[in-house]
Amino acid sequence: LESEALRQSVLNGDAEWEARIVSSFHRLSLIEEPTMRDPARWFNEWEPVNRGFHEALISACSSVWIRRFLSILYVHMERYRRLTAMHNPPTRNVHEEHLALRDSALARDAERCAALMAEHIESSISVVREFGLLR
């Protein structure tokens, strides 16, 4: 669903949407490296900024219902990510994933952006599955 919302955002986005992406990615970049080494800091400080980036990416999606539902899903998935992060710090390069999402969104490549988002989400779900929290 987030991939479809992102696809719509890429097609509908304007200069303000682009500015939200650039700004939220910049904040994310500033906090990513220092917090990735400390699981407690990572979740408490990084997670809200990560959420802001994801919300910026889909903010031009025309469906308020999709955005609301994604917000609910994000909160539910957050609890699983928190549990895995406390015991298993990220080993993948999430910054590079976010960079690719930013670049493809700003390049207005809707299909690539949607595919990257699907991979990004699947990678997060895989980590939670490996930890034994999802089947």
* pLDDT score for 89: 63
C-alpha 122, offset from chain centre: 11
CATH of 2-130, one of 1.10.3470, 1.25.40, 1.20.120, 3.30.70: 1.20.120
| pLDDT reported for residue 73 | 94
Written as tens digits, the pLDDT of the chain (135 aa) is: 999 999 999 999 999 999 999 999 999 999 987 777 776 777 788 889 999 999 999 999 999 999 999 999 999 888 888 888 777 666 788 899 999 999 999 999 999 999 999 999 999 888 888 877 776
* Residue 60, pLDDT score: 98
